[in-house]
Amino acid sequence: MSMPTLFEELQRVRTYEYTEEDVREFEILHDEIRALKKKRNAVIVAHNYYRPEILKIADFVGDSLELALMASEVKTADVILFAGVHFMAETAKIVNPSRTVLLPNLGAGCQLADSAPAEDVAALAAKLRKEYPDLAVVSYVNTTAAVKALSDIIVTSANAAKVVLTLPNKNILFVPDRNLANHVAAQVPEKNIIPWDGFCYVHQQITPEEISRIRRNDPELEILVHPECRPDVAALADAVLSTSGMVRWAKERPASRFLVVTECGLSDRLAMEVPDKQFVKGCKLCTFMKVTTLEDVRDALRDMKYEIEVPEEIRVPAERALRRMFEATK
């Protein structure tokens, strides 16, 4: 069987409608990016939610945990171009400070990470420690470097309960996603999880009514839900998984129809990679994940922008918290 062309692959995507002209432009940009990658000795790592035409030129595509681990292992490349959001590029710089880390568009922030300013987290932790002297601060990777620096350990959607279980502390301030905090609390009832009152605006929009309606019309569907979704949405899931957990599940399970309840980029990636299965639309768009274009990626490598820096006094404690997570995840 012959390999599908880029145009054929992109026709399977539901979020965008690509014309032949669009795809011809992507191919020209891909060639330019390949040449610049060589010139800069760069690798491109991309998050699962990114635009499909960017995933197609990435050296590695994954979830937050995979990307952090991957970035920490980059040894021969001088430049890591991070096709993700700001906290992800910052994490790469924290764990691999001798590389140049580029974020192609500074508009790629994260509303969830921004909902927990470091001063407020520090103040709440100090207040709670009066009542719970053993309090540990556990931060989701979707946080700023300054929050990571004041955390005991970091978690991602792929390992949160497992990491929390390794802690000796009973009392845990879990920052910033309350839905992930509740998901963890249900799995580790022996811990007292105190959630920060944050949520992701993308996942929070998804309602149980919407999911139940889709399932009623299509009872064979297997439903995969991201843990940033509301608990009443997670309760309807066949599995609650990180984005790459969803990719593995959909590839490995015998089911042929899936509802992937998360940002739309995930269903698009699956539609391209698993053409013999169906991914029913029930997703929402993250404007931060979609702001970066293929031109931005080209310009970033051409002009070496935008370089992510983390001051050493923040980077060192933030790296400690991240490395503890890597250790706990082994």
| Contact positions vs ligand SF4 (CB under 6 A) | 85, 110-112, 142, 200, 202, 228, 263, 286, 288-289
Site for ligand 13P in 15-34 (CB under 6 A): none
CA pair distance 20, 271, nearest whole angstrom: 19
3-state secondary structure of 249: helix
Question: H helices of the chain, where?
Answer: 6-10, 20-40, 52-55, 64-72, 86-95, 111-114, 118-131, 145-149, 160-165, 178-187, 201-204, 208-217, 231-234, 243-252, 264-273, 287-290, 294-303, 312-329
Give 11 or 15: the residue with its C-beta nearer to ligand SF4: 15
> Under a CB-based contact definition with an 8 Å cutoff, are residues 67 and 47 in contact?
yes
Give 111 or 192: the residue with its C-beta nearer to ligand SF4: 111
> Under a CB-based contact definition with an 8 Å cutoff, are residues 73 and 266 in contact?
no
Closest CA to 228 of 272, 269, 276, 266: 266
- Position among 64, 100, 204, 267 found at the interface with ligand 13P (CB under 6 A): 64
- Position among 6, 138, 167, 200 found at the interface with ligand 13P (CB under 6 A): 200
Residue 111 interacting entry, from ligand SF4, ligand 13P, none, C-beta within 5 to 8 Å by type: ligand SF4
User: Measured in whole angstroms, how far is the alpha carbon of residue 94 from the centre of its chain?
Assistant: 17
Is residue 121 a contact residue for ligand 13P (CB under 6 A)? Answer: no
Residue 157 interacting entry, from ligand 13P, ligand SF4, none, C-beta within 5 to 8 Å by type: ligand 13P
Contacts with ligand 13P, 158-197, as mask; x by CB under 6 A = ----------------------------------------
Binding residues for ligand 13P, total number by CB under 6 A: 11
Give 114 or 210: the residue with its C-beta nearer to ligand SF4: 114
Give 156 or 169: the residue with its C-beta nearer to ligand 13P: 156
Q: Least separation, in Å, of the C-beta of 59 and ligand SF4?
A: 21
Name the phi and psi angles at 80, rounded to 5: -110, 110
Site for ligand 13P in 123-162 (CB under 6 A): 142, 156-157
- Position among 105, 159, 243, 267 found at the interface with ligand 13P (CB under 6 A): 243
CA pair distance 118, 212, nearest whole angstrom: 38
Is residue 242 a contact residue for ligand 13P (CB under 6 A)? Answer: yes
198: left (phi over 0), alpha (psi -120 to 50) or beta: beta
Cis peptide bond prior to 306, omega within 30° of 0: yes
- Position among 9, 32, 53, 63 found at the interface with ligand 13P (CB under 6 A): 63
Query: Is 63 buried (19+), middle (13-18) or exposed (0-12) by CB count in 10 A?
Result: buried
The tokens for 308 are: 């992510």
Residue 48 interacting entry, from ligand 13P, ligand SF4, none, C-beta within 5 to 8 Å by type: ligand 13P
Is residue 91 a contact residue for ligand 13P (CB under 6 A)? Answer: no
Closest CA to 266 of 288, 281, 287, 255: 281
Is residue 268 a contact residue for ligand 13P (CB under 6 A)? Answer: no
